[in-house]
């Protein structure tokens, strides 16, 4: 019998969206539970580490967004053809987290001008070098995917970050033809395209 999945997060894409993309690509049903920030106060103490997203699998609660995605990727055969490809998937996902961690100050800042300054600094020091490296990885791999010759969870994880940035700052991709292709390619996968079209419209 197939397991029953319940994914809990806020009404946002955020850290839950890569898992939702995995469910979409696999064509697996799950309960997409979206809570309000007001409801979070009561739920927080009942979570494993006081954080969401969390994934309930037949009643067992799995915390941590990357652990959730890695588990789902294994279940849905999206970790590559062997252990080495799986390791490269892990490496690229970890790198996304390293880069995104430098945006904490941007998320916390309320002043518009200061927020803009933080973003510009992030883009110059962290994002642009990362995009250059990703462009090289795609060129070297030559398949349209980051790892191997078929779609993996790393593609979906990286796509979620790049697609959000591209929507707001397309100018960052003008010299990155492979990355622009990659966004269109992954976003154009039939099941991913369908999910993006029907998912709730949120700011982030």
Q: How far apart are CA 86 and CA 80, in angstroms?
A: 5
Whether 39 is covered by a domain: the verdict is yes
Region 41-65: what's the mean pLDDT?
Answer: 96
Q: Which of 5, 9, 30, 153 is catalytic?
A: 9
Pair 92, 66 in one domain: no
User: 175 and 133 share a domain?
Assistant: yes
142 with 117, same domain: the answer is yes
193 against 203, higher pLDDT: 193
**Helix or strand (DSSP H, E) at 8:** strand 5-10
Looking at the structure of the chain, the number of domains it has is: 2
Contact criterion met (CB below 8 Å) for 16 and 53: yes
Q: Exposure pattern of 153-172 as b/e (b: 16+ CB <10 Å)?
A: bbbbbbbbbbbebbeeeeeb
Say whether pLDDT at 127 is over 90: yes
Each residue of 150-179: pLDDT tens digit? 999 999 999 999 999 999 999 999 999 999
pLDDT single digits (tens) 172-188:
999 999 999 999 999 99
Instruction: Note whether 72 and 95 are same-domain residues.
Output: no
Residue 204 domain-assigned?
Answer: no
Asked if residue 99 is part of any domain, the answer here is yes
Domain identity same for 173 and 133: yes
Asked about 34 being catalytic, the answer comes back as no
**Across residues 133-151, what is the average pLDDT?**
98
Average pLDDT of the residues in 58-77:
98
Residue 157 annotated as catalytic: no
* 42 and 20 housed in the same domain: yes
Q: What are 177's two structure tokens?
A: 């033809």
Q: What's the pLDDT at 81?
A: 98
What proportion of the chain, given as a percentage, has pLDDT over 70? 100
Q: What is the CATH number of the domain that holds 125?
A: 1.20.1050.10
Mean pLDDT of 92-111: 93
What whole-number distance in Å separates Cα of residue 93 and Cα of residue 174? 24
State the pTM of this model: 0.96
Sign of CA dihedral 47, 48, 52, 58: negative
Q: What is the CATH number of the domain that holds 36?
A: 3.40.30.10
5 a catalytic residue: no
Active-site annotation holder among 13, 15, 20, 70: 15
Q: Is the same domain home to 18 and 63?
A: yes
User: What confidence score (pLDDT) does residue 98 get?
Assistant: 96
pLDDT of 199 above 90: yes
Could you tell me the residue range of the domain that residue 55 belongs to? 5-76+191-198
């Amino acid at each position: 019998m197939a397991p029953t999945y319940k994914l809990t997060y806020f009404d946002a894409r955020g850290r839950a969206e890569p898992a939702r993309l995995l469910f979409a690509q696999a064509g697996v049903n799950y309960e997409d539970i979206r809570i309000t920030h007001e409801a979070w106060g009561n739920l927080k103490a009942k979570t494993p580490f006081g954080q969401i997203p969390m994934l309930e699998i037949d009643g067992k609660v799995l915390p941590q967004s990357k652990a959730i995605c890695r588990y789902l990727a294994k279940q849905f055969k999206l970790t590559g053809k062997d252990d080495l490809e799986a390791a490269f998937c892990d490496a690229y996902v970890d790198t996304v987290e390293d880069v995104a961690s430098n945006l904490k100050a941007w998320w916390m800042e309320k002043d518009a001008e200061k927020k803009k300054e933080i973003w510009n600094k992030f883009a110059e020091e962290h994002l642009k070098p990362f995009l250059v490296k990703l462009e090289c990885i795609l060129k070297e791999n030559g398949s349209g995917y980051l790892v191997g010759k078929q779609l993996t969870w790393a593609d979906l994880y990286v796509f979620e970050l790049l697609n959000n940035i591209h929507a707001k700052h397309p100018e960052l991709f003008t010299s990155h033809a492979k990355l622009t292709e990659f966004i269109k390619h992954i976003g154009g996968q039939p099941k991913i395209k369908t999910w993006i079209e029907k998912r709730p419209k949120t700011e982030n």
